[in-house]
A and B are shown apart, each in its own frame.
Chain A
Amino acid sequence: MPAVNKIVIFDDDDDLLGIFRFLFEDSGWEVYAFENCNDLIRKTKEIMPRLILMDNWIPPQGGIIATQMIKNDSILKEIPVIFVSANNDVKELAIKAGADAYTEKPFDFDVLNDLAILLINKPRA
């Protein structure tokens, strides 16, 4: 890996944030984890990650609006967003949010990691 892949993870659950951090770092990612979306755009712009993992249940405004904010930002919009939720209708939520992919909770990290690799290597349109 010539350059370190940065990933920003938004999840309100401390345990899961820890688990994501461990697993992604274990897989060589540089992980930036946040419990909320306060100052979302600024934080993300500072980091400029290759990938964003967005939980549906994220304060204050929730994952859908957060994702839409990212996707409406001219600088951030190219960054792939994986939508994560414990809700059964994660797929619909992801589509609504304008995310690039989604993952149910509980998740299989190998599958998630493969998806992440796939997304960052996807040629930009």
Chain B
Amino acid sequence: MPPEENKDSRARVDTDAIQSLNEELTASNEELQASNEELIAMQGQLEASLEVISDRERQINAMVESAPFPIAVYIGREMRIAQANKAVIQVWGKGDNVIGKTYSELLPELEEQNIYAQLHAVYDSGIPFHIRNQQVNIVVDGKLTEFYFNYSFTPLLNKSGSVYGIMNTAADVTDLFLAKKQMEYSEQNFRNMIMQAPVAMCLLKGPDFIVELVNTPMVEIWGKPLEEVENKPVFDALPDAREQGLESVMSNVYHTGKTYFANEQPVSLIRHGKPEIVYQNFVYQAYRDTNGSIEGVLAISVDVSEQVLSRLELQKTYEQIQLSKEAAQLGTFDMDLLKGTMEWDNRCRTLFGISHKDVVTYEKDFLGGLHPEDRQRAATIIDSLFASSTGDKDYDIEYRTIGAEDGKTRWVRAKGKVYFAGQLPIRFIGMVLDISVQKENELRLAELAEKQARLAAIVNSSDDIIISKTLDGIITSWNPAAERTFGYREQEAVGRHISMIIPRDRLSEEDYIISQIRNGKKVDHFDTIRVGKNGQELQLSLTISPVIDDNGKIIGASKIGRDISAKLAAEQTAKKYTERLEIMNMIMGTISAELDLNKILQKVTDATTNLTGAKFGAFFYNKTDEQGESYMLFTLSGAPREAFEKFGMPRNTAVFHPTFSGQSVLRSDDITKDSRYGQNAPHFGMPKGHLPVVSYLAVPVVSRSGQVIGGLFFGHPQPGKFTEEHEILVSSIAAQAAISLDNAKLFEQVKALNDKKDEFIGLASHELKTPLASISGYLQILGRLLKDSQHQKFLGKASLQVSKLTSLVNDLLDVSKIEAGQLKLTIAAFDLKEVINEAIELIQYGADNHTITFRTKLNHSIISGDAQRIEQVVLNLLSNAIKYSPEASLVEVELCEAEENLIVSVRDFGMGIAPEKAKHIFTRFYRIDEAIANISGLGIGLYLSHEMISRHQGKLWVESEAGNGSTFYFSLPRRTDKGGLASDA
């Protein structure tokens, strides 16, 4: 900073001058001192001489004459020069011829200078006069010359003691005086210099640094009134300065004499009552006296606060720029086109993916660092800048860099300027900025815009309602489907609140929806109702999703709605249909399970009354009894039987006619207003005491054959209670009821027939067996009467045939009982082995051609069951085995055990059974065709056996092969407990 430097150096020059001046002054002082001493010594001598002179005048005169300093003696008041030595003659400069002249004659120029008066005073008073350094102007060589003298006028006394003359002694101290004068002048100059110096200066004296001299600038720096500092120890006046170590610095100067320089020293001072920081350049310099000993310190200070502050300000500004550059992530480049060097700052390097601090070049690092697609363009632009003679073209370009080290692509914006010297480009400076994010955003925005355009197309063409809204429910978009559905134009809807399409009673839905949306949740398939512009209600299925901005913040909701009115209607119909089916199914379930006519009627009545919400319901049913006489049954619901009984059966009146004729359903919101009502005698309307019927529904019940079998009637005291829906339902139920009633009727008939059949079989068997018993009895009587063995043999054969016939009758009877579920078992523990043995014995008796063998390893074969029935099974199997193996001679019976079962097998070696036949053999009345030709049987034996074994929780099965005999097995559970076996019950 040149001005600062100048000031500084000037201050230093001044200091130098002062110093040399000081030195000079000191020298003069020394000289003066010496002269004085000399003078004093001489005066002493002179005084001595004067004493002697009175005695030895000559001696004195001679001495005076030769004295090196002026001596003259004036006699008389006229001051006639009596004596004048060479020195005084020389001083006077008026020539040697002075003796005898009066003082005033010789030195007229002194007339004006008061000296005459001095002489006269001494002469008159007798009092010596001394004066020092008195200016005396004497004309020397015709010229008035200024001298300075120390001189004395000493009265000369005669013996009487009166003054007769004056001795004048003098010392020419002109040189001395002038020197002193000079010195004083210097001192003044010094002081003046201090006082007037444009820099702050002060002179501090003594070890306490008393402020002796201080100029205005210093007072200004100190910021204290002059009187507060003057003649006071400076550090008492400025205690702040002491604390800042300046006192010790100053003491150091005072004691060592070493000058202290401070540059831009910040000193905090209370200035004008305020604490302030003052930046100072200052010098503390020892102030020496003429002897060179240190008397104090001269302080020179320049207030550089302004400069420092402005420099600091500048620095701050610079730092701020730097900071903002960093904050803006600006990088700088500076290219010296003459030297061909390029400076990149860190940021700039970062943008080119360079982390080192080494030298970078335009070719390699700049052009090389550019994205290949941008390189040529950038180079061209820069070249044209350099070529531009005007140099006013700004450089502003966007390019991509590929990081030299990280390979990362960055978008960079560069701005700069080329500086020219004449036509020559010399410098290219500028800044670079990373705009990757903006660029990406731009690209994304472009992409987004395209996406949005696509989306808009979809939204516009969608058949679904697509609406968006803010979280406050303000509609922000409204697609054509929304326009069509709600009837509001987009312009009408956007900006309005969504509640305009929400029915009043559903406003709370919006709260729910928005609360879901706020939580980032989607509301899916929300079936609801919304209102269109013309007030019509619309069934909608809504899906509402949160709309999320780039920051992930939920800013609104998009609503996709589908008009499901048609769908709902269909669903409603389907639901209704289903419900109807369910109701019917339920009723049908109960009534079809029911075969009791009265119960069916009651159930149908109850169900339909309930279904229609009727107050009263009745079912009138025509029945024909066995005698073919027609009568009517009825069931009631919602009213006591007495309410009807007193009126008798409904007659075929105008109101009842359509029902009892099966013509049609009659449904009336108010039957009393029907034209058919009240036309018949004797009541002409409802008889007194009749149930109060207003709403009326009557449905004929028609059987499959088309015959009207009855009617369902419903009533309600209030009008308009029965709907078409009820009519349809009741009609459907009536149709079903008709079927059930038909079935019940059929069932009654079947049951009656079945009962008859059972009765017949029972009777038949009794009637058959009674004569058999008689025949058997007579045969037994004959057996006792006939002694002839031949007779006995025939009797035996006849008895056997009777027992066969009896067993056949019994089997038939069993079948009928099984059919009727009346076969009863008598359960008791018995030994199966014994039963088998007995059966074998019985069969073997009548089977001469076959040998029946029995094999078992079991010792214990007690089981629980009906022994007689099991024997019946064994007998049946054995007789079959023999019957169907006419060629064979062996039947093998075996009893064994398998797990919890006892298994009995009967094996024959006969014709066997083909597999396709085997499955039928346990069927009632089944007979194998091939066998039927020559083997008799009713085909009930195996059927009965199978039933018997089943009733014992056992199994009966066959293993056989045509031509290879058959083995019949039956198994019986070995349990001896009662469990599971059907008993007499």
Interface residues of A (CB under 8 A from B): 13, 15-16, 19-20, 22-23, 26, 57, 85-89, 91-92, 105-109
**Scoring B residues 767 to 802 as 1 if CB is less than 8 Å from chain A, else 0, what string do you get?**
111101111111011001000000000000000001
B811 to chain A, nearest CB (A): 10
A-B contacts, 20 listed (Cβ < 8 Å): A13-B773, A16-B773, A19-B777, A19-B778, A22-B781, A23-B777, A23-B780, A26-B784, A86-B768, A86-B769, A88-B810, A88-B813, A106-B769, A106-B773, A106-B775, A106-B802, A106-B806, A107-B776, A108-B776, A109-B780
Task: Give chain B residues whose Cβ lies under 8 Å from the Cβ of A20.
Answer: 777
B765 and A106 contacting across the interface, CB-CB below 8 Å: no
Judge whether B781 and A105 touch: CB under 8 Å.
no
Q: Do A105 and B772 form a contact, CB below 8 Å, given A86-B765, A86-B766, A92-B824? A: yes
Instruction: Indicate whether B596 reaches chain A with its CB closer than 8 angstroms.
Output: no
Of B762, B770, B775, B803, most A-chain CB atoms within 10 Å: B770
Given the contacts A88-B817, A106-B806, A57 and B766 also touching, CB distance less than 8 Å: yes
Chain A residues near B767 (CB, 8 Å)?
A: 86
Contact A16 B774 (CB under 8 A): yes
> Which residues in B have their C-beta under 8 angstroms from that of A86?
765-770, 772-773
CA A33 – CA B133 in complex, angstroms? 213
Chain A residues with CB under 8 A of B826: 91
Q: How far is the CB of B170 from chain A (nearest CB, A)?
A: 197
Please measure, in the bound complex, the distance between the C-alpha atom of A16 and the C-alpha atom of B802, giving whole angstroms.
16
Contacts of A13 in B (CB 8 A): 770, 773-774
Instruction: Say whether A15 contacts B781, CB under 8 Å.
Output: no
Distance, CA A107 to CA B778, complexed state (A) = 11
Question: Which A-chain residue is minimally distant from B868 (CB atoms)?
Answer: A91
Q: How many Å lie between the Cα of A86 and that of B813 in the bound state? A: 11
Q: Which residue of A lies closest to B775 (CB)?
A: A106
Q: Determine whether the beta carbon of A87 is less than 8 Å from that of B984.
A: no
B776 in contact with A106 (CB, 8 Å)? yes
User: Closest chain A residue to B779 by CB distance?
Assistant: A106
Q: A88-B817, A91-B826, A106-B772 are in contact. Are A16 and B777 (CB under 8 A)?
A: yes
Contact of B824 among A19, A22, A85, A89 (CB under 8 A): A89
Residues of A within 8 A of B824 (CB): 89, 92
Complex CA distance for A86 and B581, rounded to whole angstroms: 55
Interface size counted on chain B using CB atoms at 8 A: 27
A87 CA / B762 CA spacing, docked (Å): 7
Contact across chains for B769 and A92 when beta carbons are under 8 A apart? no
Query: Across the interface, do B814 and A88 meet the contact criterion of CB distance under 8 Å?
Result: yes
Residues of B within 8 A of A89 (CB): 824
Q: How far is the CA of A87 from the CA of B813 in the complex (A)?
A: 9
Contacts of A87 in B (CB 8 A): 762, 765-766, 769
Across-interface contacts of A15 in B (CB, < 8 A): 774, 777-778
Count of A-B residue pairs with CB < 8 Å = 66
Q: How far is the CB of B461 from chain A (nearest CB, A)?
A: 87
On chain B, the residues within 8 Å of A88 by CB distance are 765, 810, 813-814, 817
Q: B residues within 8 A CB of A106?
A: 769, 772-773, 775-777, 802-803, 806
Given A15-B774, A16-B774, A26-B781; 9 other pairs, CB 8 A cutoff: A19-B778, A23-B781, A86-B765, A86-B766, A88-B817, A106-B802, A107-B776, A108-B776, A108-B780
Task: Name which of A16, A88, A91, A108 has the most chain B CB atoms within 10 A of its CB.
Answer: A88
- Please, which residue of chain A has its CB at the minimum distance from the CB of B777? A19
Indicate if the CB atoms of B770 and A105 lie closer than 8 Å: yes
Q: How far is the CB of B823 from chain A (nearest CB, A)?
A: 10
- Rounded to whole angstroms, the CA-CA distance of A3 and B766 in the bound complex is 36
In the bound complex, residues from chain A placing their C-beta under 8 Å from that of B778 are: 15, 19
The answer to whether B773 and A107 have CB atoms under 8 Å apart is: yes
Q: Could you tell me the distance in whole angstroms from the C-beta of B792 to the nearest C-beta in chain A?
A: 14
Residue numbers in A under 8 Å from B806 (CB-CB): 106
Shortest Cβ distance from A56 into B: residue: B766
Q: Which residue of chain B is the closest to A110 with respect to CB atoms?
A: B780
CA distance A106 to B984 in the complex (A): 24
Q: What are the 10 tightest A-B residue pairs by CB atom distance, in nearest-first order?
A: A19-B777, A106-B776, A105-B773, A86-B769, A106-B773, A15-B774, A86-B766, A88-B813, A86-B770, A106-B772
Closest chain-A Cβ to B798's Cβ sits at a distance in Å of: 12
Whole-angstrom distance from the CB of A90 to the nearest CB of chain B?
A: 10
B770 nearest CB neighbor, chain A only: A86
- Hey, which chain A residues are within 8 Å of B772, CB to CB? 86, 105-106
Q: Nearest Cβ in chain A — how far from B173, in angstroms?
A: 189
User: What chain A residues lie within 8 Å of B762 (beta carbons)?
Assistant: 87
- B781 contacts which chain A residues (CB < 8 A)? 19, 22-23, 26
Query: Which residues of A have CB within 8 Å of B784?
Result: 23, 26
Q: Is B777 in contact with A107, judged by CB distance below 8 angstroms?
A: yes
**Chain B residues with Cβ under 8 A from A22's Cβ?**
781
Q: How far is the CA of A55 from the CA of B770 in the complex (A)?
A: 11
Which chain A residues border B984 with CB–CB below 8 Å? 92
Q: Separation in Å of the B943 CB from the closest CB of chain A?
A: 16
Bound-complex Cα distance A86 to B826 (A): 19
- Which A residues touch B780, using CB under 8 A? 19, 23, 108-109
Taking CB as reference atom, which chain A residue is nearest B769?
Answer: A86
Report the bound CA distance from A86 to B775 in whole Å. 13
Which residues of A have CB within 8 Å of B777? 15-16, 19-20, 23, 106-107, 109
Q: How far is the CA of A108 from the CA of B773 in the complex (A)?
A: 9
Q: Which among B765, B773, B814 has the greatest number of chain A C-beta atoms within 10 A?
A: B773
Residue of B nearest to A87 (CB): B766
Alpha-carbon distance between A26 and B774 when the two chains are bound, in angstroms: 17
Chain A residue numbers with a CB within 8 Å of B773 are 13, 16, 86, 105-107
Smallest CB gap from A91: residue in B: B826
Shortest distance in angstroms between B802's beta carbon and chain A's nearest beta carbon? 6
CA distance A82 to B895 in the complex (A): 36
Which residue in chain B gives the minimum CB-CB distance to A92?
B824
Closest to B765 in A: A88
Nearest A residue (CB) for B762: A87
A105 proximity list for chain B (CB < 8 A): 769-770, 772-773
Chain B nearest CB from A91 CB (Å) reads: 7
A78 to B336, CA, bound (A): 152
Contact with A along B179-215 (1 / 0, CB 8 A): 0000000000000000000000000000000000000
Q: How far is the CA of A91 from the CA of B781 in the complex (A)?
A: 26
CB distance from A48 to the nearest CB of B (A): 26
Residue of B nearest to A14 (CB): B774
CB distance from A14 to the nearest CB of B (A): 9
Closest to B810 in A: A88
Query: In the bound complex, how far is the Cα of B778 from the Cα of A15, in angstroms?
Result: 9
Contacting residues, chain A, for B813 (C-beta < 8 A): 88
Contact digits for B705-743, partner A, Cβ 8 Å, 1 yes 0 no: 000000000000000000000000000000000000000
Q: How far is the CA of A91 from the CA of B814 in the complex (A)?
A: 14
Q: Across the two chains, which residue of chain A brings its CB closest to B772?
A: A106
A22 nearest in chain B by CB position: B781
Residues of B615-638 at the interface with A, using a CB-CB cut-off of 8 Å, are: none
Q: Tell me the bound Cα distance from A105 to B768 in angstroms.
A: 10
Q: Which of B747-765 contact A (CB under 8 A)?
A: 762, 765
Closest Cβ of chain B: how far from A2's Cβ, in Å?
24
Inter-chain CA distance A96–B304, complex, in Å, is 146
B813 to chain A, nearest CB (A): 5
Listed residue (B765, B776, B780, B803) with the most chain A CB atoms within 10 angstroms of its CB: B780
Of all chain A residues, which has the CB nearest B771? Answer: A15
How far is the CB of B103 from the nearest CB of chain A, in Å? 207
CA distance A109 to B784 in the complex (A): 11
Q: Mark B811-838, 1 if CB is under 8 A from A, else 0.
A: 0011001000000101000000000000
Distance (whole angstroms) from the CB of A98 to the closest CB of chain B: 16
Task: For B776, list chain A residues within 8 Å (CB).
Answer: 106-108
Closest to B767 in A: A86
Shortest A63–chain B CB gap in Å is 12
Chain B residues numbered 383-433 whose CB sits less than 8 Å from any CB in chain A = none
Smallest Cβ-Cβ distance to A84: which chain B residue: B773
Query: How long is the Cα–Cα vector from A112 to B249 in the complex, in angstroms?
Result: 162
Task: Give the CA-CA distance A19 to B769 in the complex, in Å.
Answer: 15
A16 to B773, CA, bound (A): 8
Residue of A nearest to B812 (CB): A88
CA distance A85 to B813 in the complex (A): 14
